[in-house]
Structure 1
Amino acid sequence: MDEFGKLNEKVKDRLSELGFKKPTLIQRRALPKILEGENCLLIAPTGTGKTEAALLPIFSNYFEKNTEEGIKIIYIAPLRALNRDILNRLQRWEEYLDIDIQVRHGDTTKYQRRKQALNPPDMLITTPETLQAILPGSRMKEHLKAVEWVIIDEVHELAESKRGTQLSIGLERLYRYSGTVQRIGLSATVGNSEEIGDFLVGSDRKVEIVDASSAEEMSVRVESPMPTEDDAELSEKLNADPPMIARIRRIRDLIKDHESTLTFVNTRETSETLGSKLKFWDSDFPVSVHHGSLSRGFRVSSEKDFRNENLKSLICTSSMELGIDIGAIDFVIQYGSPRQVKRLIQRVGRSGHRIGGVSRGTIMGTDPDDVMESGIIAKRAFSHDLEPAKMHENSLDVLSHQIVGLSLDGVRDLEEIFSVIKNAYPYRNLSRDEFSEVVNQLQVQSLLWLDGKDIGRGKSSWKYYYGNLSMIPDIKHYQIIDMVSGESIGSLDEEFVVDQVDLGVTFICKGEAWRVVEVEDDQVRVEPTKDPYGAVPAWEGELIPVSFRTAQKVGELRSEVANHLEEGMSEEKIVKELENDYPADRDSLEWMISYLHKQLDEGSIPTDENIIIENYENFSVLHTCLGTIVNRTLGQILSALLSTRIGASIGLNTDPYRIAFRFPEKEDVKTVEETLKELKSEYLEPILKKILGKSSIFRWRLLHVAKRFGAIKKDADFSEIRGDRLAEAFEGTPIWNETEREVRLEKMDVAKLEQFIELLQNGRVKIETINRSKSQGPTPMSLPILNRLAVSGELVIPERAEREIIKALKRRLRNKQVKLLCLNCLDWSTVTRVRRLSKNPTCKNCEARLLALVPVRKGEVEKALKKQRAGKKLSSEEKDSVGRARDTANLIITHGKKAITAMAGRGVGPATASRILSMQYEKEKDFYQAILHAEREYARTHRFWD
């Protein structure tokens, strides 16, 4: 066991018993540095022994010291599932080394918490939020004074979120209790490792970067299999186009050819689609879906089945990126572009973890743009050209929470609080003015009070602190209801609804296009549409952003191919040349080159130095290779300017390579080029300032920041709060400033956009405009944004013929539950389905036909009618309900079941039903069409009714 160097002999003996003969690369490099007490950031792929690299030397030093009572080691992981994994892995050490290891998180029982407070474990495995919860505790505070080592797992993941920002101050608060604490961070490969190291240890402390990641140990290839005749035959059975079937077939083959495969996708919907297609093809195929929206029980069961080799693959989202232990993995499939280099390395890095093993995977390109992007990302991965992690610096809502937290820790002096916070890396540049403004805001909210240079706290301080331990906003979900069939077809996150959904907006869900008819309470009511133009995928809000650098590289690749094509080089020769530069198969490269050739034949190819404005009908597509966030920023600015210019609102849609506008009139498309050419870099900030505060996404974020500040109750609902009042209440406060900082960091990139506008102004980037007639149609490169289709542009939107829509409506109305009440005897009523009624229903008690349609679950109408019959005076509400009941009865006497069918429509009352029933219809479908029209009108207008 000499390979394990200066580790304690007892630790070495246990390693020998467990069968560990030699350390992995990360262990070999990290052990001596950690034994010497240095702060370390360990960077290596998942499954290479990072956890042991951190813990073995800590256990070794633990035995060399006569440590005091209390918690000595804290292990912080961002997921509870990781907590469980670590505990399971360490149980084989616990008894042998006589070290008490326990877990504490949100699910820990009161009994367990009390036991830990009375008899603390030697090592505590916890989450960032639970660390926040125990810091002010009177007993736990004493136990934390013994802490000598802190390990932060997945530190790169935390560094990009407010959870990590909060943790950075939490670690400084821990430092106040225990003095010098050795900090060890575990990370996947990152683009700014030195900054992540500084984030880990705080300002002005040293950290050793121990990097054992190597792209030489990774093998990745981009594939795009072309469909065969068999795929064409199968496409009808699986309800997908032949190219997608070809990809599914290849995925099946790859899963069969390997022992255990993770199949990564970028969205929950894609995982469900792929999983269902594979299962529909073969119900016994050993795969399961895994994503964050599934229940914890289902996810844990799938993980166990995969670990026990009952499943050969999990079709998963980023839920499997982090190091949850699911056993050995020998291959990774990435379906669609991974969109980021670090994502690709993280995902493919989950495979091939044996000594000297190679991580192997393939990217399944789903369209020619996807192939180009995937090829660029794979190439960048081999050269370790990763995107840097973006941190939340000087986050004011986190600051407010931690100021209160420090007061609960017993710190009263504002100078000391400011000093502790400045030691956290994200707050190294915090100004005294920003700090004072937050303290004043807390005083205004009565969460703290000032006494000279000291602060005090009260009961409200404790309630606020413990009510806001989590920096993750509570996201409301909206059910998508097909108003034709009445069925739920999925759900949308609140942020997507706030940012994208308005009346008339078209979006994609489950492979079909839907138009929004109504947004009410927790439902988005929609109708199917045959017009997919400008449609937004329902899952766009969760898509990983493509960086400016990757998009520019795609532009460079397009330029290279365009030059070859213009020089007359054959496609075959271009393929051979690109094969030497990009890890992609021939099918992928041929598909991509053919796509660019078609674009060149019909116009020009947009590149990093040549942007194209394509006008088609009342659409204008701006082809710009600027990436997700820069294109979104430019799109919002241009949209605001264009709307002002033409005096009407316009539709906007963006992706990493295109910005699409939908105008009310065809001639409006000409304004895009004029507006873009007039735009100057110095205009950007003033324009953004003007439009930002009015945007729905800003106001949605404002609500959540206000909650984290404690200025609004945690259960406040965006749909119940007027956005303008919210804005008026907080404009000019730290709450407003923090919202602006957050939205700019996550949703905008003004600096990169300014660079682009300057290049445009000095002629380094050219603008070309092409106009397409209706007979020509859009160019190939405009179709991805004008005709957005679900699952990375693959499922063809089925044409919902009118008869199918009417059929679904008829089915819903026939199955609608209704209640009939006899107005003659008032002693008989029935609750039944419309389809069960006779053509002319009668009372089963007195045989009268005077039947009223009344609410199913309320008895107010019956009470009012009996009250009226007894000669008692009715209230105005009672008179209205009695009058409405008589109106429905008159319609049923005249029209029978047909009247009941009409009034079964949503929002169709007796007055509307009377108009529908008074018309003569040649065909039955026309009658149902009239009901559908009435439902649409109700959905569109009823919110404005008094």
Structure 2
Amino acid sequence: MTLPPLFSDWFAGNGWQPHPHQLALLAARGDTLLIAPTGGGKTLAGFLPSLVDLHLNPGKGLHTLYVSPLKALTADVGRNLARPITDMDLAIRVGDRTGDTPTSQRRRQRADPPEILLTTPESLALMLSWPEAAKMFSSLKRVVLDELHALAESKRGDQLMLGLARLKRLAPGVQTTGLSATVEDPAALAWFMGAESVLQADPGPAPDIALLPTLQPPPWAGGGGRYAVPDVLDAVAGAKTTIIFLNTRAQAELFFQALWLANDQALPIGLHHGALAREARQRVEAAMAAGELRAVVATGSLDLGIDWGNVDLVIQVGAPRNIKRLVQRIGRANHRYNAPSRARIVAANRFEVIECVAALEAARAGELDGEPRGPGPLDVLIQQILLTACAAPFDANALYAEVITAGPYRALSRDDFDACLDFAATGGYALRIYERWQRLVLRGGLWQLRDPRAARDLRMNIGTITEAEKLKVRRRGRGGGPLGEIEETFAASLSPGDTFLLGGQVLRYDRIRDLVMEVTPTPGREPKIATFSGLKFATSTELSQRMLRVLADPDRHAELPQNIRDWLALQARFSALPRPGTLLCETFPRAGRWHLVIYGFAGQNAHQTLGLLVTRQMEGLGLDPLGFLATDHALMITSLQPVTDVAPLLTTPGLEQGLEDWIAASSLMKRSFRAVATIAGLIQRNRPGARKTGKQATFSSDIIYDTLRRHDPGHILLRATRDEARRGLIDFDRIADMIARNPQIGPRALPRVSPLAAPLLLELGRVRLAGEGQLRLAEKMARDLMEEAGLNRVRGDD
């Protein structure tokens, strides 16, 4: 295809020239992955072949299917498509099919679909389960997959690739285009979607990115970045429109509140994150599109390609943890191909300054990070098998041949496929006696639903996103009062007797009954685990290694602020700086306790797991461990006895065995099993007329898990659960990689706390505070500790 005169005139009438990659994609044949910078016209490039083909060859029926990870992005694309269609008076209907689409509109689409349909992976899976799916998609010519890199990082991407394999069977010859701006390995992403070629656009001008200058230096410990609120407000006042990104919803809420309290200029500022009601998010999106807000505080809900052309500044508060996430967020500013994006970063504490400098360096160099993609998960495949049966009876050989055309499932063995099919049909060996899990039956050589009415329940439970549950925390005993809530992912890592902080109190975990954690306050004790915030984004391996290279090279310290340079120089004189190839481990006494600090740079989740495993070994050696603190960069363990030789505690075989013992004693596997069982359809959270409560789902899944462990330990869901727990919750592979990357142990026996470890001690003692008096006491404790570590001489602290 070439660009028809109507389209050439439209570009010229708007003062534009088609970008080379837009014309190249118009002429491309076969499946293609397009990588173009934010603002480079990726979306128009993806739709241009469809608009041209529908102009030259008008016809009824669904022509193009667009899939994005966000409903908000789908709505934004619909608005942007309306312009060329209206301007050129094209006879093309565009519709959307998401969870927000009214029922009446969905019903019309099934009988008379628009030429272009915008949807999400979950809604596509639902449409493919309809009996009329074969008829609806038979006319399909093109599929556009937007922000493909974001989808590929989760089970939603695996689900989408299985759906794409089905579409290619229903509409032979359909052409697929993947769109992405931030890809660390284009060949791997192309392989994932089955693309035959990769088209890379000119990257455009280099971004204008730097640390945001602040009147106060970052604090030694803590997070949130609220010390920089006046500086952020000044930056907002000097820009047209600003997006202020934070890493979690809680941080976004707190920072938004702090901005409003300090907002003397009454700048209009909004808040946007996934936990807000749809109406609230839509009001903010509409206000931003209309230019009515000067800033919006947001989380990952605005990471992807919503096009607000008046945004000219992005501020990232807190270390980005991931280079790709930073680049993605930077691209939201000056959403134009020929204008450099402008972004500033605010480090939440002084350790984060080093991470931010490393991330900025990587972003300027165009180097991205990413975890390797594993094989397609089996629970997602089981869901696909059941949804296939909802649409029509199927032949097992044909379905297997279809599934292995999907990138994540190319290496799927027939034995594993048959095990998934057997589970979908009967529940497997230990559950086949129960009629409720006998869902498929073989008739005339084809598998079909045993009871057609089951299709409704299966469709109501489509999806791969499992919501995080919270547990209420109460004092144990009659009349025990409520103390708050904790994330279930954190509770799953605890064993009875462990202590943790909540609301400024040290609590001992006793037991869980009916989704309530019963605890006993233990005043005067230090918590074994000093944080209760659950699992967060961990700093990527690539970014951690960049940090190590910055730390290890004194010549690179010139890139850091003066107070950070002084801090690191003092650390180098007193102990040593972390460096690649050697695992720095410090031991020192303080206040009658011994402290071991391991600078692993493996991420908070991995360090938390390492802390649990190492303290178990220390208990066996009689070293009396009291607790630990895990951050993204280091692990600090407190004990009554000194660790004189850390190397035996860090052998991979010993840690592997400890992992097995810990998993057996914790509720981690049960938690993972519930997520896997929900995706695989064993546990149905949604039922007609009611939603199953978390308590009911937990009770059901725990009984099934115990039954399978006793009677069918090789069950396909137990295999999937183990893979899920190891990969997604405990990051044990990162621990093994950390040990492999650092064959040398660098022990340092110190007489007192080191400059690098002092902020960790502040984190260890950090509790929620109320009142100015207690706040001043905390500030005095920080000053005293910095004096002890010799950090009173570091500039910028007075």
* TM-score (structure 1 length as normaliser): 0.71
Residues 417, 725 of structure 1: CA spacing in aligned structure 2 closer, same or farther, 3 A cutoff?
A: closer
Query: For residues 314-393 of structure 1, what are the structure 2 equivalents within 5 Å?
Result: 314-393=296-375
Any conservation in 1 of the 2:211–2:345 contact (CA below 8 Å)? yes
> Partner residue of 1:729?
708
Alpha-carbon distance in 1 for matches of 2:759, 2:223? 18
**Is 2:203 the partner of 1:210?**
no
Partner Cα distance (2:5, 2:483) in 1: 61
Residue 44 of structure 1 corresponds to 36
Contact map agreement 1:82 1:324 (CA 8 A) in 2? yes
Residues 700 and 749 of structure 1: CA distance in aligned 2, closer, same or farther (over 3 Å): closer
CA distance in 2, matches of 1:188, 1:482: 50
* Counterpart contact for 1:529–1:800, Cα < 8 Å: no
The residue number in structure 1 matching 2:274 is 292
Q: Which residue of 2 aligns with 1:222?
A: 211
Tell me the distance in 1 between the aligned counterparts of 2:294 and 2:571.
41
What is the deviation of 1:293?
1.9
**TM-fit CA distance, 1:343:** 1.0
In structure 2, the CA distance between the partners of 1:42 and 1:328, relative to structure 1 (3 Å rule), is farther
Aligned ranges 1:819-834 → 2 under 5 Å: none
Letter in 2 for 1:606: P
**TM-score for the superposition, normalised by structure 2:** 0.84
Change (3 A) 1:470 1:245: closer
The amino acid that maps onto 1:612 is C
- Check the 8 A contact 1:532/1:786 in 2, yes or no: no
Q: CA deviation at 1:800?
A: 8.2
Backbone CA RMSD of aligned residues: 3.6
Describe the SS at the equivalent of 2:763. Answer: coil
Letter in 1 for 2:78: L
Matched, 1:711 2:682: yes
Residue 651 of structure 1 corresponds to which residue in structure 2? Answer: 627
Equivalent residue for 2:151?
158
Query: Kindly tell me: are residues 296 and 539 of structure 1, through their superposed partners in 2, closer, same or farther at Cα, counting changes over 3 Å?
Result: farther
Output one character per residue of 1:43-91: Cα deviation in whole Å (capped at 9) or x when no partner.
2333332111111222112223354x32111111112112211222222
Partner of 1:823: none
Paired with 2:675 and 2:225, the residues of 1 have a C-alpha distance of 40
2:757 aligns with 782
More helix by share: 1
Cα drift, residue 196 of structure 1? 1.2
Q: 2:233 aligns with which of 247, 252, 269?
A: 252
Q: Any gaps of 5 or more consecutive residues in structure 1?
A: 233-239, 562-573, 583-587, 805-946
Alignment correspondent of 2:552: 559
Say whether 1:670 aligns with 2:643. Answer: yes
Are the aligned partners of 1:148 and 1:182 in contact in 2 as well (CA < 8 Å)? yes
SS in 1 for 2:561: helix
CA contact (8 A) 2:505 2:523 kept: yes
Aligned counterpart, 1:858: none
Deviation at residue 795 of structure 1 after TM alignment: 8.6
CA contact (8 A) 1:422 1:428 kept: yes
Q: Give the 3 Å change call, closer, same or farther, for CA 578–42 of structure 1 in structure 2.
A: same
Which letter does structure 2 place at the counterpart of 1:659? Answer: L
Matched, 1:22 2:17: yes
Say if 1:401 and 1:468, in contact at 8 Å, map to a contact too: no
What is residue 597 of structure 1 aligned with on the other side?
A: 569
| Shift in alpha-carbon separation, 1:769–1:544, aligned structure 2, 3 A | same
State the distance in 2 between where 1:689 and 1:349 align: 43
| Residue number in structure 1 paired with 2:489 | 495
For 1:784 and 1:699, the matched residues in 2 are separated by 35
Structure 1 residue aligned with 2:499: 505
Distance (Å, rounded) in 2 between the aligned partners of 1:728 and 1:109:
42
C-alpha deviation, 1:355, in angstroms: 4.5
Segment of structure 1 superposing worse, 145-154 or 677-686: 677-686
2:656 and 2:270 map into 1 onto residues whose CA distance is 48
Matched, 1:281 2:262: yes
Aligned CA distance change for structure 1 residues 525 and 277 (closer, same or farther; 3 Å): farther
Alignment partner, residue 743 of structure 1: 725
Partner amino acid for 1:290?
H
Per-residue Cα deviation, 1:725-779 (whole angstroms, up to 9, x for no partner) = 724525321111111212232245555544543565xxx423314255xxx4x33
The CA deviation string for residues 326-383 of structure 1, in whole angstroms up to 9 with x for no partner, is 4421111111211111011101111123352001111112322111111111111222
**Residues 521, 462 of structure 1: alpha-carbon distance in 2 compared, 3 angstrom cutoff:** same
* CA deviation after TM superposition for structure 1 residue 705, in Å: 0.7
Q: Structure 1 vs Structure 2: percent identity of aligned residues? A: 24
Are residues 482 and 125 of structure 1, via their aligned partners in 2, closer, same or farther at CA, if it must alter by over 3 Å?
farther
Amino acid at match of 2:253: E
How far apart in 2 are the matches of 1:320 and 1:503? 41
Answer yes or no: is the 8 Å Cα contact 1:516–1:524 preserved in 2. Answer: no
Deviates more, 1:100-109 or 1:609-618: 609-618
Distance in 1, Cα, partners of 2:229 & 2:182: 30
2:199 aligned counterpart, secondary structure? strand
Q: What does the per-residue CA deviation read over 1:809-867, in whole Å, with 9 as the maximum and x for residues that have no partner?
A: xxxxxxxxxxxxxxxxxxxxxxxxxxxxxxxxxxxxxxxxxxxxxxxxxxxxxxxxxxx
Unaligned runs of 5+ in 2: 428-437, 686-691, 778-798
**Equivalent residue for 2:26?**
34
Partner in structure 1 of residue 469 of structure 2: 476
Match of 1:429 in 2: 411
1:696 aligns with 2:671: no
State the AA in 2 paired with 1:272. E
Q: What is the aligned partner in structure 2 of residue 850 from structure 1?
A: none
Contact 1:530 1:799 in 2 (8 A): no
Please give the alpha-carbon distance, in whole angstroms, between the structure 2 residues aligned to 1:39 and 1:138: 27
**Structure 1 residue 411 displacement after superposition:** 4.9
Aligned counterparts of 2:664 and 2:306: Cα–Cα separation in 1: 40
Deviation at 1:292, TM superposition (A): 1.8
Q: Is the 8 A contact 1:373 1:554 kept in 2?
A: yes
Distance in 1, Cα, partners of 2:622 & 2:445: 56
SS in 2 for 1:438: helix
Shift of residue 290, structure 1, vs aligned partner: 2.1
The question of 1:456 aligning with 2:451 is answered: no
The residue aligned with 2:431 is: none
Which residue is equivalent to 1:175? 168
The verdict on how the C-alpha distance between 1:21 and 1:112 changes in structure 2, with shifts beyond 3 A counting, is: same
Q: How many angstroms apart in 1 are the aligned matches of 2:336 and 2:684?
A: 51
Say if 2:259 is the partner of 1:263. Answer: no
Count residues with an aligned counterpart.
Answer: 741
Q: Deviations over 1:585-642 (max 9, x none)?
A: xxx5212112223434543333332411324415432222334454345334324433
Other-structure match for 1:606: 578
Give SS of 1:54's match: helix
Which secondary structure does the structure 2 equivalent of 1:217 belong to?
coil
For 2:310 and 2:600, how far apart are their aligned partners in 1? 42
Once the 2 structures are TM-superposed, how far is the Cα of residue 451 of structure 1 from its aligned partner? Answer: 6.0
Relative to structure 1, the CA distance from residue 241 to residue 180 in structure 2 (aligned partners, 3 Å threshold; closer, same or farther) is closer
2:2 is the alignment partner of 1:12: no
Q: Which residue of 2 aligns with 1:110?
A: 103
Amino acid of the structure 1 residue aligned with 2:634: R
1:625 pairs with one of 601, 613, 620: 601
2:73: which partner in 1? 82
Distance, in Å, in 1 between the alignment partners of 2:413 and 2:448 is: 22
For residues 797 and 783 of structure 1, the distance between their equivalents in structure 2, rounded to whole angstroms, comes to 24
2:578 partner SS: coil
Distance 1:750 1:525, change over 3 A: closer
In 2, Cα distance between equivalents of 1:57 and 1:688 = 53
The Cα shift of 1:259 comes to 0.9
Q: Which letter maps to 1:625?
A: F
- In the TM superposition, residue 703 of structure 1 has moved relative to its aligned partner by 1.0
Check whether the contact 1:173–1:406 (CA below 8 A) recurs between aligned residues.
Answer: no
AA partner of residue 63 (structure 2): K
Q: Tell me by how many angstroms 1:147 deviates.
A: 0.3
